[in-house]
Structure 1
């Protein structure tokens, strides 16, 4: 927050305010002669998380621990899904960079999945915030097998294999 304050003070105290502000206006719709719009990291992370989940083949976002905490949070009455789970962002005045951790569904081409995620995340962030997305890094941490969830439930209900 102090950086933003010093930026405002520097540009307000500058003798070339007219020249500097016209260049800023041309570079970003978020910085205009009428004022500056700042977008919080959490907003960009939430947009990226929602956009990534919309792509078919994404089972979940986040690492194992984050997904476990998220599952507990959802079970608490009144608890909400953390849309920014598994998403890290860096947001500047004009640009944003995104890092995603996810679990892919088995059988999906990971290269095609990553391309689809990048396309959707970039379009969503740029369309909603006017920030230029410089990169979207994707880390596939696991592959989800539909039978994994069913096998655990069945094995708990079946008789033990040994006595």
Structure 2
């Protein structure tokens, strides 16, 4: 699982961690890690959306269904071991932001949130920028349909 050159697989053995003690162990599900990573990514200014085109289209449909909710882990893939996690995130950025600075901010926020909330060591956060959202992409979405000046007359 890596969009870079070499993947780091989360370790599953070794020294004790906050998730393991002589009284038992705590296992964090991949869905929990992916939701936290997705929410932490969305908190960063300059992120327009998460996921590739098809995932965003399905997400938009899901949100329009009564009772439908936003999928917090859309665009996020994770591998979780006993003590470590690796994260891959697909994003759409706002036009005009520095992608390098945005990627640093996303990494910092995701690592901080995951390590604070789960106790897992985050070994890598890979970010794929799939698209740039242009301000013109929003034009006309919330407008009412144009009305004919004289609807009885056909040109």
- Measured against the shorter chain, the TM-score band is 0.7 to 0.9
Aligned to 2:32: 43
User: How far apart, CA to CA, are the structure 2 residues paired with 1:117 and 1:158?
Assistant: 44
Q: Secondary structure at the match of 2:87?
A: strand
Higher relative contact order (CA 8 A, sep 6+): 2
Give the helix-richer structure, 1 or 2.
1
Q: Does 1:67 align with 2:69?
A: no
Aligned partners of 1:126 and 1:152: how far apart in 2?
39
Alignment of structure 1 residues 133-148 onto 2, 5 Å: 133-148=122-137
Matches within 5 A, 1:9-158: 24=15, 27-150=16-139, 157=146
How many residue pairs get aligned? The number is 137
C-alpha distance in structure 1 between counterparts of 2:141 and 2:21, whole Å: 57
Structure 2 unaligned residues grouped into runs of 5+: 1-11, 149-154
Query: Alpha carbon RMSD of aligned pairs, Å?
Result: 2.1
Q: What is the TM-score normalised by the length of structure 2? A: 0.82
Deviations 1:71-98 (A, max 9, x none): 1111111111100000000000000000
SS at structure 2 position matched to 1:93: coil
- How many Å apart are 1:153 and its aligned residue? 6.8
Which protein shows a greater Rg? 1
* Structure 1 segments of 4+ aligned residues over 6 angstroms from their partners: none
CA displacement at 1:149 relative to structure 2: 2.0
Q: Tell me the TM-score normalized by structure 1.
A: 0.78
Query: Could you tell me how far 1:151 is from its partner in structure 2?
Result: 5.1
Unaligned runs of 5+ in 1: 1-6, 8-19
